[in-house]
Structure 1
Amino acid sequence: MFIRHATIEKNVILMVVLTLITVSIGGLVQIIPLFTIESTIERVDGVRPYTPLEVLGRNIYIREGCYLCHSQQIRPFKDEVERYGHYSLAAESMYDKPFQWGSKRTGPDLARVGGRYSNDWHVAHMISPRAVVPESVMPAYPFLATRKLEFDDIAQHLKALRAVGTPYTDEMISNARADLEAQVNPDADPTALEKRYPRAVVGKFNGESAEITELDALVAYLQMLGTLVRFGDLPPDRLRQ
């Protein structure tokens, strides 16, 4: 055995060839099984694609760099669970492209922020953070309350997301604009919207403007975070992801 090793170690070309063969076999053993399953993420009841309004709100969240100071990932540690809520499941961010787990917490984690504060609180916080949280170091974003939301291309936006794997149906895409306007109009009939997007939060989020603003979209996105999965209804084996 030692003699064979000596032969291999003295022959650079032979060592390279054998190394490549070994690495290839190991790689195939790991990769091939992945082609036999639809997804590496176990699906959890309640998780759905973002509504058109939430999609644009998420875009604004990314554009303004909110992920630089806020995480959206609660680790399975006692202190984090007690402060923020149930630890994050992989399925909760399965439609995030890119994901918003973040890398630091200058501000609190936002994975369970949905429903924790009122729409008015979020609006006031974005316009003047220290008016509601005196010790906050967050910059103010008052322009979001007056900047009109551009959503003429929302259907094309959903098509693009479908192309990279988000399961938007033809019905969702064809009704994208109507669903966006219905979600921000408390007087509209939300039945069709809620059928396509269960547990969508409906309301005029930014009461500072009669128009649909970027702040409407951002608050709609924040109010959805962490609200889709009912953890009390899941069996223990579904929570160990």
Structure 2
Amino acid sequence: MSSPAWENKPVLFLLLATAAILVGTIVTMVLPFAWVNTEADRIEGVTPYNPLELAGRDVYIREGCNNCHTQTVRPLVAEVLRYGEYSRSGEFVHDRPHLWGSRRTGPDLARIGGKYPDAWHYQHMAVPTSIVPRSNMPAYAFLSDRGIDPEYTRRKMDVLRFPYEVEQIAGLRGKTEMDAIVAYMQKLGRDLPVQRTAQPVTPPAIAENPFRNDAAAVAEGGALYAQHCAGCHGASLEGGIGPALSPSGFDEDMLFEVIYGGLPEGGMPAYASLGSARVWKMVNFILAPRGI
């Protein structure tokens, strides 16, 4: 069987192959990017970065944070339950460049804004293991020693055509890169009109405290507390990022429920993965100073 005539003509074959590739490129790449930048795709409420947030975004890029953290929640049930509202193209109209990422050495940050108070971010950035004991994230305490250049930031705002007030640029004096990256983190995901936050973990039916007045359990609970809770509530329950727990005004059942299920809106994670027995031991440690 003889070959088609065009297969025997290399120049014609090259032109046809090039045309096919160009059509595929236009359909799969060029048109989607054009659609993203249409008014119909924009989301009301998604605003450009202010000067401090933009400076923080540049620090985030410079330090390679996007190599370990994605900023895109996929439209999968498990993703939405863990991180919140799935990502939509209109969220990224002001991103130059986008920071979707492809690797999750650390958690996705697309919905991190407002999840934790500023103090949590300052401490986590300075000493990550004080918040997440097993974290392999490097410490960024040095960012607190580096100032923001107001004039350089103003020029970046002009290039990107982001609106700003003169007072905002002047307000950068005395701000550090740590202030900037925390401001940027608190911006992420907060422009969406609707957000589905992670659902609290439902604790098992509250049973009788199995370790009441058990000195060994209190000691083990103290070790668990030091590992998981001291970073926010203080080594001696004196408080810090989270409220003071000594003297505790909690009922033991309420305390178990809060530790086990977490407080998603307050930034406290659930510790259901530790199991009921370990959570009860932490409860007894926290209540031990009250003689319970």
- State the TM-score, normalized to the length of structure 1: 0.69
**Would the aligned equivalents of 1:51 and 1:180 in 2 still touch at CA under 8 Å?**
no
1:231 to 176, 194, 206: 194
Distance 1:35 1:125 in 2: 36
Question: Quick check: which has more Rg, 1 or 2?
Answer: 2
Number of corresponding residues: 193
Distance 2:103 2:95 in 1: 18
Give the 4+ runs in structure 1 shifted more than 6 A: 31-38
Secondary structure of 1:49's match? coil
Deviation at 1:38, TM superposition (A): 8.8
**Residues 1:109 and 2:135 aligned together:** no
Deviation at 1:97, TM superposition (A): 1.2
**Would the aligned equivalents of 2:151 and 2:169 in 1 still touch at CA under 8 Å?**
no
Residue in 1 aligned with 2:90? 91
Structure 1 residues 156 and 231, CA, compared in 2 at 3 Å: closer, same or farther?
same
Residue in 2 aligned with 1:74? 73
Distance 1:12 1:107 in 2: 50
Distance 2:176 2:117 in 1: 17
Residue in 2 aligned with 1:189? none
Distance 2:87 2:4 in 1: 51
Deviation at 1:127, TM superposition (A): 0.9
Structure 1 residues 135 and 14, CA, compared in 2 at 3 Å: closer, same or farther?
closer
Note the aligned Cα RMSD (angstroms).
Answer: 3.1
Distance 1:109 1:102 in 2: 9
Structure 1 residues 44 and 32, CA, compared in 2 at 3 Å: closer, same or farther?
closer
Structure 1 residues 115 and 33, CA, compared in 2 at 3 Å: closer, same or farther?
closer
Residue in 2 aligned with 1:58? 57
Residue in 1 aligned with 2:222? none
Residue in 2 aligned with 1:218? 181
Deviation at 1:146, TM superposition (A): 2.2
Residue in 2 aligned with 1:238? none
1:7 to 5, 8, 12: 5
Deviation at 1:180, TM superposition (A): 4.2
Matched AA of 1:229: L
Deviation at 1:64, TM superposition (A): 0.7
- State the TM-score, normalized to the length of structure 2: 0.58
Distance 1:15 1:116 in 2: 57
Unaligned runs of 5+ in 1: 163-167, 185-209, 233-241
**Would the aligned equivalents of 2:36 and 2:89 in 1 still touch at CA under 8 Å?**
no
Matched AA of 1:225: L
